[in-house]
Amino acid sequence: MSYQAAANALPMRDAFSVIFFLSVGMLFSPAAILDNLPFFFGLMGILLLLRPLIAFLIVKIAKKPSMTALTVACAIAQIGEYSFIVAEEGSGLGILPDNIYDVLIAAAFSTIALNPFLFKLIGFIKSNKKNYKGELSEEFSLEQIKTAKHGKPSFLPRVIVIGFGPIGQKIAQEMLSRDYHVTIVDQNIDSITLLRDAEVENIFGDATQFHILKKLKQKM
């Protein structure tokens, strides 16, 4: 039910995001960048290079996969939305000079705008890694591979059943009888209650909504 509630709230979230970034865009001053180029490029270097590099090394030291380390690095290669609140408070208290405030806003705006492209780059690297190097997906552990080699399945096949009407019930029953891992999506609260009582994995929501589909993808 929480997934459906989140899906219903998405349009409101998007509306507030548009208002927020429009207001931030009105604060963006290209002249501030031109007047403080060394500071701006130094700050961008810290945000886009130094911080991600440190994060990457920390994740690798923890013996995590390279793609995980790269994802974490890109995730922090920006100043988040809260930086605007902190900068505004600092400027109001007289702690932060106006020229520094303008550069911080410009850097935050620039890094947030660039961040989606960094994640697209990760997707490109990941697809090339799988397609051309022939490497195994990092989603599978070494233990799973060893088990599979000995002829014992290390994970159950997964089936997603959309709708728990008469046909959906027959499909789910057949898949469960074959020891498939079944997830059922339905909008009928009574059906969901029955599934929970039977300890069958389920999601309450409309499977045509993007947020619900995203949750299903995470379970695959």
Domains in the chain (CATH in brackets) are 16-132 (no CATH), 156-219 (3.40.50.720)
- The Cα 125–Cα 180 span in angstroms is 32
Amino acid at 93: L
For 11-15, 59-63, 174-178, which range has the lowest pLDDT when averaged over its residues?
A: 11-15
- The Cα 111–Cα 22 span in angstroms is 16
The residue with greater pLDDT, 45 or 132, is 45
Mean pLDDT, the chain, integer: 76
Helix axis angle for 2-27 and 210-219, nearest 10°, is: 110
Distance between first and last Cα of the chain: 19
Q: What is the per-residue pLDDT for 48? A: 92
Element containing residue 119 per DSSP (H, E): helix 98-132
Task: Report residue 77: phi and psi, to 5°.
Answer: -85, 50
Taking the alpha carbons of 17, 80, 78, 93 in that order, is the dihedral positive or negative? positive
- Percent share of the chain, pLDDT over 70: 76
Q: What is the per-residue pLDDT for 10? A: 58
C-alpha dist (Å) from residue 33 to 20, 44, 91, 163: 22, 11, 18, 55
Q: Ranked by mean pLDDT, which of 66-75, 117-126, 190-199 comes out on top?
A: 66-75
Q: What is the mean pLDDT of residues 184-201?
A: 83
Q: Is there a contact between 173 and 164 (Cβ–Cβ < 8 Å)? A: no
Q: What is the mean pLDDT of residues 54-65?
A: 91
pLDDT over 80 (residue 70): yes
Query: Which tokens sit at 197?
Result: 């009582």
Where does the pLDDT of residue 220 fall: very low under 50, low under 70, confident under 90, or very high at 90 and above?
low
Q: Judge residue 5's burial from the number of C-beta atoms within 10 Å of its C-beta, 0-12 exposed, 13-18 middle, 19 or more buried.
A: exposed
**pTM, rounded to two decimals:** 0.52
pLDDT over 80 (residue 24): no
